[in-house]
Chains A and B, each alone.
Chain A
């Protein structure tokens, strides 16, 4: 499968979903989607026909506000019909603005930042206890790294040498109120994680090939959990959104939507 084309198509799905639903976390969806693409379409052992398979790999979207990205991936993978998302965030819908584990394929409810990695630690410990070789993946935002609970989980994973656990930091350098470095300094992620006993890989997180290589390397790590510091661009793929804090949860107008789809189609053509 051409993962670059897949990621581009998913970007279009996300933009369309947000445009129609008039709600969503556009910027963070666009920065994280390449990570999800590499995990869900290349590495993760998950199967919509057997969603409760005890040997399945586990995924937790700790930056739960990027739920549109996860829902688009899950529906594309066949966990539920695409038409289910027609009422995304609408009255009575179970497809809410954060991952909801009433939805097939969603392991845990998230939305309150700073929980996902600790859940991952528990899942990784359980995998070790049960002598299962599934892997656990958790994706966090860089603003989220300000939560103290994240560091408690990082400490525990380092302590227990959870090499079946891989964390991602979507290092897009933006949060709601501005840049991470203005709001609360997050550099150096690399040094911080390393100090807690992690195997650290720092890459361009919107580069499919780099992500592919990093996830492959993480699988080979022995005796240490791996973190991928995914240096990304918030809003990646749609020019007017890129690196704009305001696009954290803005919804495109009709013109913006049309331009975004056009740009993504041009991007897709390059990959064909």
Chain B
């Protein structure tokens, strides 16, 4: 299995594109190693800027560079990027509309036992609440590459969150359906819809297989675009299946669940069950241990899906 981390995919894409596009600039805040960007810094030092441990400066310096025509990627742990430098993201990136892509690495709870300071279980909420900020959580490295390619084509602000570890791919080398700002329908189904984002998509896909064995037809949607969210696919799911389960590596406040529930409530009310992280510091453990604790695995998702049908 081709297991490379999403952050590695970002580095590869940026390295490739930066060979010819000399306006691409990457910034780090003592985070190049964790971002897998050491190779970029070594190979293209003139397109790399080290800011030191200063995430607020990282974001505003990025905005200044972008205002002078640079295509900027600011890469730092998602936790610090989405909270400490939130005002910089709001004012200097989103409000001033600068061509900055904020890349939050080691997102969600992927820092495990390092605790709540290092978790970003609220970054969808913070970033999506900022006008003019787009928010993306790609599900695997294939999709991450497609997303970065698309982001290199436009000049608008965005926030991309990826996890720390390599995860099993959702897609295959020669089958990577991707349309910018449109969710990907991974599997059609008629009983229940599973909408997931980021590294939860794989588990949702696996849950659909468990359900299929029990004769339940589950639709699986990869909502990598949290903002602008793909409303149509949500409304369609509400109409065509009996209910929706959302799965996210994020608190259920202000993330995927909130948005899906909002869309269905306004357009076509159906049962929407939200699976996510608790409103508390998460239990100490490795990613999989944490996910298992909160039922954020294929079995847990299948269980919740059945609740939709039994309502």
Stretch at the interface among B46-54, B171-179, B268-276, B303-311: B46-54
Q: Decide if A144 is an interface residue (CB 8 Å cutoff).
A: yes
The interface residues of chain A lying within 8 Å CB-to-CB of B112 are 89
Contact bitstring B43-63, A, C-beta under 8 A = 1, else 0: 000000011111011000000
Q: Decide if A143 is an interface residue (CB 8 Å cutoff).
A: yes
Q: Decide if B131 is an interface residue (CB 8 Å cutoff).
A: no
In the complex, the answer to whether B115 meets A98 with C-beta atoms within 8 Å is yes
The interface residues of chain A lying within 8 Å CB-to-CB of B84 are 112
Further 19 A-B residue pairs, CB within 8 A, beyond A111-B115, A183-B50: A23-B113, A91-B289, A92-B283, A93-B284, A94-B284, A97-B115, A111-B116, A111-B118, A112-B79, A112-B84, A112-B117, A143-B30, A146-B30, A146-B54, A147-B54, A148-B54, A175-B53, A177-B32, A183-B30
Q: Decide if B291 is an interface residue (CB 8 Å cutoff).
A: no
Interface of A is mostly: loop
Cβ-closest 4 pairs across A and B: A184-B52, A111-B117, A146-B52, A89-B113
The interface residues of chain B lying within 8 Å CB-to-CB of A93 are 113, 284
Q: How far, in Å, is A174 (CB) from chain B's closest CB? A: 11
CA gap between A98 and B118 in the complex, in Å? 10
Q: How far, in Å, is A122 (CB) from chain B's closest CB? A: 18
Cβ-defined partner of A89 (8 Å) among B116, B118, B284: B284
Contact bitstring B273-294, A, C-beta under 8 A = 1, else 0: 0000000000111100100000
Given A90-B284, A91-B285, A176-B30: A96 and B53 interface contact (C-beta under 8 Å): no
Sampled A-B contacts (26; CB under 8 Å): A89-B284, A90-B113, A90-B285, A92-B284, A93-B284, A96-B115, A96-B284, A97-B114, A111-B114, A111-B116, A112-B84, A112-B117, A112-B118, A113-B53, A146-B51, A146-B52, A146-B54, A175-B30, A175-B52, A176-B34, A177-B30, A177-B33, A182-B50, A184-B51, A184-B53, A184-B54
Q: How far, in Å, is B164 (CB) from chain A's closest CB? A: 13
The interface residues of chain A lying within 8 Å CB-to-CB of B116 are 109, 111
Q: How far, in Å, is B98 (CB) from chain A's closest CB? A: 20
In the complex, the answer to whether A98 meets B283 with C-beta atoms within 8 Å is no
In the complex, the answer to whether B284 meets A146 with C-beta atoms within 8 Å is no
Contact bitstring B29-40, A, C-beta under 8 A = 1, else 0: 011111000000
Cβ-defined partner of B53 (8 Å) among A89, A111, A147: A147
Q: Which of A131-149 contact B (CB under 8 A)?
A: 143-144, 146-148
Q: Decide if A110 is an interface residue (CB 8 Å cutoff).
A: yes
CA gap between A198 and B117 in the complex, in Å? 29
Q: Decide if B80 is an interface residue (CB 8 Å cutoff).
A: yes
The interface residues of chain A lying within 8 Å CB-to-CB of B30 are 143, 146, 175-177, 183-184
In the complex, the answer to whether A146 meets B53 with C-beta atoms within 8 Å is yes
Q: Which of B4-53 contact A (CB under 8 A)?
A: 28, 30-34, 50-53
The interface residues of chain B lying within 8 Å CB-to-CB of A143 are 30, 52-53
The interface residues of chain A lying within 8 Å CB-to-CB of B80 are 112
In the complex, the answer to whether B284 meets A114 with C-beta atoms within 8 Å is no
Q: Decide if A8 is an interface residue (CB 8 Å cutoff).
A: no
Name the residue among A111, A146, A177 with the largest chain B CB count within 10 angstroms: A177
The interface residues of chain A lying within 8 Å CB-to-CB of B34 are 176
Q: Identify the closest chain B residue to A111 (Cβ).
A: B117
Q: For this complex, into which size category does the number of interface residues on chain B fall?
A: 20 to 34
Q: Decide if A64 is an interface residue (CB 8 Å cutoff).
A: yes
Q: Decide if A100 is an interface residue (CB 8 Å cutoff).
A: yes
In the complex, the answer to whether B54 meets A110 with C-beta atoms within 8 Å is no
Q: How far, in Å, is B107 (CB) from chain A's closest CB? A: 15
CA gap between A144 and B31 in the complex, in Å? 13
In the complex, the answer to whether A64 meets B117 with C-beta atoms within 8 Å is yes
The interface residues of chain B lying within 8 Å CB-to-CB of A91 are 283-286, 289
Q: Identify the closest chain B residue to A248 (Cβ).
A: B33
The interface residues of chain B lying within 8 Å CB-to-CB of A97 are 113-115
The interface residues of chain B lying within 8 Å CB-to-CB of A146 are 30, 51-54
CA gap between A144 and B29 in the complex, in Å? 11
In the complex, the answer to whether B50 meets A148 with C-beta atoms within 8 Å is no
Name the residue among A89, A96, A182 with the largest chain B CB count within 10 angstroms: A96
Q: How far, in Å, is A244 (CB) from chain B's closest CB? A: 14
Q: Identify the closest chain B residue to A115 (Cβ).
A: B117
Q: Identify the closest chain A residue to B41 (Cβ).
A: A177
The interface residues of chain A lying within 8 Å CB-to-CB of B56 are 148
Cβ-defined partner of A98 (8 Å) among B54, B114, B286: B114
The interface residues of chain A lying within 8 Å CB-to-CB of B115 are 96-98, 100, 109, 111
CA gap between A217 and B33 in the complex, in Å? 40
Q: Identify the closest chain B residue to A142 (Cβ).
A: B53
The interface residues of chain A lying within 8 Å CB-to-CB of B113 are 23, 89-90, 93, 96-97
CA gap between A182 and B117 in the complex, in Å? 26
The interface residues of chain B lying within 8 Å CB-to-CB of A114 are 53
In the complex, the answer to whether A176 meets B284 with C-beta atoms within 8 Å is no
The interface residues of chain B lying within 8 Å CB-to-CB of A90 are 113, 284-285
Q: Identify the closest chain A residue to B115 (Cβ).
A: A96
The interface residues of chain B lying within 8 Å CB-to-CB of A147 are 53-54
CA gap between A94 and B280 in the complex, in Å? 14
Q: How far, in Å, is A68 (CB) from chain B's closest CB? A: 12
Cβ-defined partner of A144 (8 Å) among B50, B53, B114: B53
CA gap between A90 and B32 in the complex, in Å? 27
Cβ-defined partner of B117 (8 Å) among A89, A92, A109, A183: A109
